[in-house]
Structure 1
Amino acid sequence: MSRISEERKQALLRRYGSKMANVKAGPGAMKMPGPGPGPGGRRGGFGGPGPRGAMIKGGKPKNASATINRLLAYIGRDKVKILFVFACVLGSSVAGLGGSYILRPVINNLVSAGSAEEKMRNLVMGLLIMAGIYVVGVLCTYLQQKIMIGVSQNALVRIREELFAKIQKLPLKYHDTHTHGDIMSRFTNDLDSVGEMLNHTMVQIFSGVITLIGTITLMFVTNWILAIVTIATIPMLFYAGGFLGKKSRKYFAGQQQALGAVNGYIEESITGQKVIKVFCHEETAMEEFDFLSDDLREKQIKAQFFGGIMGPVMGNLSQISYAITATIGGILCLTANFDIGGLTIFTNYSRQFSRPVSELSMQMNTIFAALAGAERVFEVMDEAPEAEDLQDAIAICSEANPVEGARRIKGEVVLKDVTFGYVPGKTVLKRINVTAKPGQKIAFVGSTGAGKTTITNLINRFYEIEEGEIYIDGINIRRIKKDSLRSNIAMVLQDTHLFSGTVRENIRYGRLDATDEEVVAAAKIACAHSFIERLPEGYDTVLEGDGANLSQGERQLLNIARAAISKAPILILDEATSSVDTRTEKYIERGMDRLMKNRTTFVIAHRLSTVRNADLIIVLEHGEIIEQGTHEELLDLGGRYYQLYTGAVELD
């Protein structure tokens, strides 16, 4: 029996975005905690500013017609190919109908009076005509499928590229409130569902409509009485299809959401596998995954059941229609001189009449899965991007790396009465005033959640401040282009990240136009050159899995080298040595000392020994500055910093 409580189940479904269809909150249901201190508090990939419940919105597609119109807009860019595909579909459908109609004279000729030789000649001629018509139909079908697949893949490329481009433009807040696994699920599972629909279903819909119209027309031409009898069964087919389709759409939307939840949990579990093992939570992780997997299974069973049952139900209903038509047609042959050939092709048309409806019904699972997936993709595309730069925004550059047309800065940073909160009504910073002169080293110390990292996020404009102003060399950062601003601020974080590629490419990521000589120089500044030389291929050694073949300290040295090569006049060090051993810390500190030379530096550190030589130490508590001064001044003051430094109290 699972040890997961109902409260924990509710929390899992909320956190990973699955709609709570089967878990009801009782009086003691656990509530998800409110927004945390922001990215500064996200040390394990969990938490962050904003409720996890905002991750995925449940329910059926809000506006299926709008989603379809958006998808059509993507394939509509290949209008010429689409028109040719429709022409081929028209040719294929007409060939199918025309080939069937040839049966009438062929059969009537066989049952009529005449010589055997004449009947054989007419039979062969009729079969040859049918064969020619069907060959044309096969050729049209081949062309329509081949071209349509190309059109649909072009549309998928456009959607995928626009989605990835939108991800790059979304503010940091979006990534802090959405799991990576769910975002990846929209790129893979959801887009695959859309591709399946565009590849086949679009053509089948058009083909079905043409076949339906042509069949009805030929049925009336053949026998209007039987045509009315057959059409009378349409309401029965549409009612059944509509009922099952409504159910199917609802459950397919839930299936896609549950799939995103499972992917999100897998991504976080794999990323945090060491933490799971350290705290012996393997069984708990398996039980939680089993719960989310079971939730996905239940939604998939319902979705696949209603999607899969539609075909058999519609097929059986069409057999009833066929039986009624054949019976009445036989009576008409006996009583109203209705020809045998006419009855034959009419019963064939009655099958063709129900076939498009049945085929579309069988495709409903694909359609609804695609619509649900497309809506999740468009949800990301419709997210508000980062605020646009002002029209008169300017570019800046450092004196060490001048850019034509950009204003050169020395690195003075001033925060004036800055107030900020990640969520309205919850203030994280309160009237912060800081002045950092060019080349100065400013250190922030204080308890976890005091707002240290938040200040650096505001300097980068990862978040927009609510009140107050931030200036760089007297220029309000709102008037500076974001790309220009961030390219002049180098960051070395506690959580290192290396991309798949060579060591040289990872260092050059700080400035893509850097030469090989500059890469080596940056590595020497970071004290990384010696260990890089010892790697199998030196600077051309390929790193995979976020640099898994390097130690934590070596990865951090590469991050420092990446910051050094940027030539940014402003540097942010966010607990860059907190996760390494003392010996490695000395190498990293030596590299950082070289890196900080002639740069305005903001240092966030829990180890107070690393900030003793700072020009200004700022002590933060609950988002407010309670003390500031040099190391000696704060010790003489005997306040909070003194207590922290002497161990009278500890950083929590």
Structure 2
Amino acid sequence: MVNDMDNIAGTLQQSLIQIITSVLTVIGVFILMLTISWKLTIIALVTIPLSILVVAFVAPTSQRLFGRQQAALGKINDQVEETYAAHTIVRTFNKEEDEEKEFNRRNHQYYQSAWKAQFFSSLMMPMMIFIRNVGYLVVAVVGAIQVIHGQITLGNVQAFLQYTNQFSQPIAQIANLSNTIQQTIASAERIFEVLDEPEMDDKIKETPVLAGKNLPKVEFKDIQFSYTDEPLIQDFNLKAPRDKMVAIVGPTSAGKTTIINLLERFYDPQGGHVYLDGQDIGSMTRDDLRKHIAIVLQDTWLFTGTIFENIKYGNENASDEEVYHAAKMARADAFIRELPDGYQTVPDESASNISQGQRQLLTIARAFLADPEILILDEATSSVDTRTEVLIQEAMNALQQERTSFVVAHRLSTIRKADQIVVVNHGKIIETGNHESLMNQKGFYAALYNSQFAGN
């Protein structure tokens, strides 16, 4: 995709200017030719439809071949980027030779696509030169005949022949640029495949607000959802009370993260409703909905900029003191001040100059600053050591105070204090309760919990 953008940028910066210049030259020379002889001008114009025929013959095939070339180049770049980023894994598993073979295979595919595209497009210029010379010859012969009959002077014929060259040269240049243009079109098609993907439906549903007292903060009601034709979530019902912690647990691919995606409206359910304070979230814009929610993910992400700017991302209107307070509440202030530049430290591209746990604390500080009504913690401690997990858990416990929170966790020790634990499997709730009641049931949750501590 980057190569495609570069191709389009290059065409707009260079080729477009040359095309405009050539068009203006053709128009100016055409007017001068008419002032000398309209008959010879008509003869000279015959080369235009011939040129168009050549372009019409070469361009479609050239465009198709350039499309294959760009696709092959994209695959090479993907592998190079992937191998470079994961070079440690590649070396650890002795896959250097395999990666080289795969690169050679993809490079050969690129070579096959590229030489065909370049060869076919290179036919354009010789054919255009041939047409230009034929036109020049015909004008010279007809002009000589007219001179013999006294219909035109020799000087005018000589001048007209010069104009004929100037007239055909820009046309040949435009045709020759078709190589670049076809490559650009191929790049544009690949980009527009992404841009033309349908946007998410922004229609606001007209759903009546639920009436009554003591409504849950969030309610999932009769939810039906699937990514494919295979049903994932069926008849899902869940009520999350205000200012309570709801933990969602279950095996891999049980639908835990999908439930969070539905609450954030990254997807809309095919059936049922999700209510926030009794209002269907489908009747709210996504912007309005997400103002109520903050999320801390397993995969932390820090943007380019200082640590201070990364925390302030949660609330651009926050004061400096509010940023520092959020860092203290997230248990991040101490390690930040120990860094050489403190809050002005700029994490490198992979944020390797701070640990994974420290990165997680920064994302928690960001959520603190957002001050949400609803907090989502999705596997937030799954990739840190036990000591750091305790620190993060303290920060998350502080963050959850007086908020409705959803916690998705594989480490069941982190959700023992949850007010409500929802056990999900195959998109359905199979058990619900707190830790003690679920352990007493000796069901799915108890087996899952005991399996994690069987060696202790």
TM-score, length basis structure 2: 0.88
Please name the residue that 1:421 is paired with.
Answer: 226
* Residue 635 in structure 1 maps to residue 439 in structure 2: yes
Please name the residue that 1:199 is paired with.
Answer: 17
For 1:310, give the aligned amino acid: M
For 1:220, give the aligned amino acid: S
Report the 3-state secondary structure (helix = DSSP H, G, I; strand = E; otherwise coil) of the residue aligned with 2:265.
Answer: coil
1: CA distance, partners of 2:81 / 2:265:
28
Shift of 1:514: 1.2
On the 8 A contact 2:249/2:422 being kept in 1, the answer is: yes
On the 8 A contact 1:241/1:314 being kept in 2, the answer is: no
Q: Deviations over 1:583-624 (max 9, x none)?
A: 111111111111112221111111111121111222222212
Please name the residue that 2:238 is paired with.
Answer: 434
Change over 3 Å in CA distance of 1:525–1:431 after alignment to 2: same
Please name the residue that 2:305 is paired with.
Answer: 501
The counterpart of 1:593, out of the listed 369, 375, 397, is 397
1: CA distance, partners of 2:17 / 2:453:
65
Shift of 1:233: 5.0
Q: Deviations over 1:557-591 (max 9, x none)?
A: 11111111111021111111111111111111111
Please name the residue that 1:213 is paired with.
Answer: 30
For 2:225, give the aligned amino acid: F
The counterpart of 2:97, out of the listed 283, 299, 319, is 283
Change over 3 Å in CA distance of 1:430–1:228 after alignment to 2: closer
| Aligned positions of 1:393-412 closer than 5 A | 412=217
Change over 3 Å in CA distance of 1:280–1:605 after alignment to 2: farther
Shift of 1:324: 4.5
Please name the residue that 1:364 is paired with.
Answer: 178
Report the 3-state secondary structure (helix = DSSP H, G, I; strand = E; otherwise coil) of the residue aligned with 1:468.
Answer: strand
Report the 3-state secondary structure (helix = DSSP H, G, I; strand = E; otherwise coil) of the residue aligned with 2:294.
Answer: strand
The counterpart of 2:273, out of the listed 469, 472, 476, is 469
For 1:575, give the aligned amino acid: E
For 1:302, give the aligned amino acid: K
Report the 3-state secondary structure (helix = DSSP H, G, I; strand = E; otherwise coil) of the residue aligned with 2:123.
Answer: helix
Structure 2: gaps spanning 5 or more residues: 209-213
Shift of 1:307: 2.9
1: CA distance, partners of 2:53 / 2:203:
53
Structure 1: gaps spanning 5 or more residues: 1-181, 395-408
Could you say what the CA RMSD is over the residues aligned between the two structures, in angstroms? 2.9
Change over 3 Å in CA distance of 1:186–1:350 after alignment to 2: closer
Change over 3 Å in CA distance of 1:528–1:232 after alignment to 2: closer
The counterpart of 2:55, out of the listed 219, 228, 241, is 241
Identity across the alignment (%): 40
Please name the residue that 2:126 is paired with.
Answer: 312
| Aligned positions of 1:616-635 closer than 5 A | 616-635=420-439
Report the more deviating stretch, 409-418 or 604-613. 409-418
Report the 3-state secondary structure (helix = DSSP H, G, I; strand = E; otherwise coil) of the residue aligned with 1:462.
Answer: coil
Please name the residue that 1:490 is paired with.
Answer: 294
Please name the residue that 2:66 is paired with.
Answer: 252
Shift of 1:455: 0.4
Change over 3 Å in CA distance of 1:341–1:648 after alignment to 2: closer
1: CA distance, partners of 2:49 / 2:18:
26
On the 8 A contact 2:26/2:167 being kept in 1, the answer is: no
| Aligned positions of 1:83-102 closer than 5 A | none
The counterpart of 2:381, out of the listed 577, 588, 592, is 577
Report the more deviating stretch, 595-604 or 325-334. 325-334
Q: Deviations over 1:452-497 (max 9, x none)?
A: 0000010000101111111112111112231121122111111010
Shift of 1:646: 1.6
1: CA distance, partners of 2:277 / 2:234:
23
2: CA distance, partners of 1:330 / 1:357:
25
Shift of 1:524: 1.3
For 1:465, give the aligned amino acid: P
Aligned pair count reads 449
Please name the residue that 1:352 is paired with.
Answer: 166
Report the more deviating stretch, 411-420 or 234-243. 234-243
2: CA distance, partners of 1:218 / 1:448:
81
Change over 3 Å in CA distance of 1:604–1:189 after alignment to 2: farther
TM-score, length basis structure 1: 0.63
